[in-house]
Amino acid sequence: MTQVSTTSARGQSYLSKGPLVVIVNYQTFDLTLETLRAVAEELSGGQWSVVVTDNASPDGSGARLVEIVRANGWTDWCEVRLLPRNGGFAYGNNEAFPPGVDRDPAKPHIPERVLLLNPDTVVRPGAIAELMRFMDDHPQAGIVGSRLEDPDGTPQVSAFNFPTVLSEVEGGFRLGVVTRLLRKWMIAPPWRNDTHRCHWVAGACMLVRREVFEDIGMMDEGYFMYYEEVDFCLRAARKGWETWYVPAARVVHLVGQSSGVTDTKKPARRLPSYWFESRKRYFTKNHGIPYRILADLGWASGHIVHRLLRLLRGGKNADPPRLLRDFLTHAVGGRTG
């Protein structure tokens, strides 16, 4: 029905007019293949299509995925697109479909539902159907996220609040009394097992309504990685769309396996420069430079107090290496967003 692409082909074809799953691969062949197998089981007999975009993986995993899709006979529902460069997470997702909407049925269009899915996820049975059901029953729900969990079923926090000056103060201090006072503004509040509205959900598994793309456009490719889904959900909220967390939809998330940054099972690694630049872009773009400076001061001052208290108490340092130095370097220099 649809050929497997070997070059960038934004908006050139879809396997069906039904919902679409987008998976971005970058040197994660084994993870992406397992995700595809789980998706194949979940979507059996449905009208879904899957597009895997490969961000110019230097290990050749994109070409291997092309071959495995052909070998398994998946080309009637799965397309692999080999992109010319590694443009980041937002770029990889955007390259799966056109940047705008053309209502002419003879031209490419955005499907009615788009599920953004990380390659380091495994979809539990019924999860995608649960997300779809909820969105069908709640017309103002523009974005719906699943419960993310460890392989043993331990839940991960995946429903969040938007970053603010107060959330940065709390994140810097990480002190009981400060956290209690600022609990309302915590970016990652304690996990809840009930369906509820939130500010944003993890981009590892995020179902988006077509009309959201019509209203706000695609993900901002100015973010290489991190904060792109926060920005996307904020833009949707400003247009009146609701974001919901649906824990009945369960998806295993092998945290940090695709990026190598947030793996909680290993010692903390130094944060890459693009994490700081993404944070900087988010605050500058959405709130302005003065607000970003306040957020920087709030986090840095809180973190310095946190470090002093940790030294006095003899506590273990679990922070990424050179965290404060890198933060200050990027706060003062780097791109302004």
Domains of the chain: 20-162+199-259 (3.90.550.10)
Per-residue pLDDT, 7: 40
Band of pLDDT at residue 48, cut at 50, 70 and 90: confident
pLDDT, tens digit (0-9, with 9 covering 90-100), for 206-237: 999 999 998 999 999 999 999 999 999 999 99
Would the pLDDT of 299 be above 80?
yes
Distance CA(29)–CA(193), nearest Å, equals: 32
β-pairing verdict for 113-117 and 121-123? unpaired
CA-based end-to-end distance of the chain: 42
Would the pLDDT of 150 be above 60?
yes
Distance CA(174)–CA(50), nearest Å, equals: 41
User: Average model confidence (pLDDT) for the chain?
Assistant: 89
Q: Which residues contact 97 (CB under 8 A, 6 or more apart)?
A: 10, 11, 14, 20, 22, 51, 108, 110, 111, 114
Would the pLDDT of 3 be above 60?
no
Determine what percent of the chain falls in helix, strand and coil, rounding each to the nearest 5.
Answer: 40, 20, 45
Per-residue pLDDT, 199: 98
Would the pLDDT of 201 be above 70?
yes
Would the pLDDT of 17 be above 80?
no
Would the pLDDT of 99 be above 90?
no
Backbone angles phi, psi at 162, to 5 degrees: -65, 145
Per-residue pLDDT, 110: 77
**Residue 299: C-alpha distances to residues 19, 110, 170, 270, 293 (Å):** 41, 39, 7, 18, 10
Would the pLDDT of 171 be above 80?
yes
CB atoms within 10 A of CB 145: 28
